[in-house]
């Protein structure tokens, strides 16, 4: 799943799994589509080597992705005729993952006023300033009950590996993996610009970082995301394979979880 606590890809894992099954069928048939996918996969960057626990720090203050405990981000948007609301809370809690103390971030999504998704994401920052994504525990509302998403994963479990959510010093053209759990969570990002402009209900910003984010599990879906210095994620839009849009409307601070 997408992977930032402010703006995350939602509700696409059923489609992703269908794509994986279809790809498997083509592979068995030895068709050209399978060969093309294999060639594309070979060009993708491998999961980055995660630094040792001693190289991580206790706070996340990357200017494009600050996660100060107690911060509440609120987003609103739409997907087709559906109204979306997203609330992200940077908790005061941490979770030990592979010896690294990760920050716990809660994400809640409402569609047309009904609560549909909830997630706990885990992030940590290294000494250089890179923000690492260590996994998520996500649930979808299905027939009135919470069902754990197939996209849930944790670094070190079943071969899952951490990725970089935000680089310390992003440069145009940089391409990197944000997560890696084969067949379940394989999001990537590419830096498109560091000088974009964007207006959202929360404010207007220049020198915005713009990224392209996608996954080989859903090659026909592409998102553009926007990050303002000192704020974090301010907007996202699906530019291929969908119509989802989200914009930051407020940031507040709480003293306790």
Tell me the pLDDT tens digit for each residue of 103-155.
Answer: 999 999 999 999 999 999 999 999 999 999 999 999 999 999 999 999 999 99
pLDDT at position 30 is: 52
Mean pLDDT on 172-177:
97
Q: 21 or 92, which is more confident? A: 92
pLDDT at position 13 is: 29
Mean pLDDT on 61-75:
98
Tell me the pLDDT tens digit for each residue of 217-250.
Answer: 999 999 999 999 999 999 999 999 999 999 999 9
Q: List, in order of start, the domains of the chain with CATH numbers.
A: 13-253 (2.40.360)
pLDDT at position 41 is: 57
Tell me the pLDDT tens digit for each residue of 21-49.
Answer: 333 443 334 555 445 455 455 588 999 99
What separation in angstroms does the CA of 84 have from each of 149, 177, 243? Answer: 19, 27, 12
Mean pLDDT on 185-198:
98
CA–CA separation, 180 and 183 (whole Å): 9
Q: Are 216 and 37 in contact (CB under 8 A)?
A: yes
Structure tokens at 174: 């940089």
Mean pLDDT on 3-17:
41
Q: Give the burial string for 64-100 (b: 16+ CB within 10 Å, else e).
A: bbbbebebebbbbbebeeeebbbbbbbbeeebebbeb
What separation in angstroms does the CA of 124 have from each of 73, 189, 218, 256? Answer: 18, 18, 27, 20
């Amino acid at each position: 799943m997408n992977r930032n606590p402010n703006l995350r890809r939602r509700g696409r894992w059923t489609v992703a799994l269908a794509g994986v099954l279809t790809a498997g069928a083509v592979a068995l048939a030895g068709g050209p589509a399978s060969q093309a996918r294999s060639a594309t996969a070979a060009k993708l960057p491998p999961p980055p080597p995660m630094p040792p626990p001693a190289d991580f720090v206790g706070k996340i203050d990357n200017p494009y992705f600050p996660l100060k405990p107690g911060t509440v981000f609120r987003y609103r948007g739409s997907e087709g005729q559906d109204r979306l609301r997203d609330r992200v809370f940077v908790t005061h809690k941490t979770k030990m993952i592979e010896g690294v103390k990760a920050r716990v971030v809660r994400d809640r999504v409402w569609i047309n006023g009904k609560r549909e998704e909830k997630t706990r994401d885990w992030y940590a920052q290294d000494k250089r300033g890179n923000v690492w994504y260590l996994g998520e525990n996500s649930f979808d509302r299905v027939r009135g009950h919470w069902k754990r998403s197939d996209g849930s994963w944790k670094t070190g479990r079943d071969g899952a590996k951490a990725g970089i959510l935000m680089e310390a010093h992003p440069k145009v053209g940089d391409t990197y993996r944000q997560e890696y759990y084969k067949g379940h969570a394989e999001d990537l990002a590419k830096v498109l610009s560091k000088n974009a402009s964007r207006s959202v209900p929360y404010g207007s910003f220049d020198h915005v970082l713009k990224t392209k984010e996608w996954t080989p599990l859903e090659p026909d879906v592409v998102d553009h995301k926007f990050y303002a210095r000192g704020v974090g994620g301010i907007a996202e839009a699906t530019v291929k394979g969908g119509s989802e849009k989200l914009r930051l409307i407020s940031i507040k601070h709480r003293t306790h979880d």
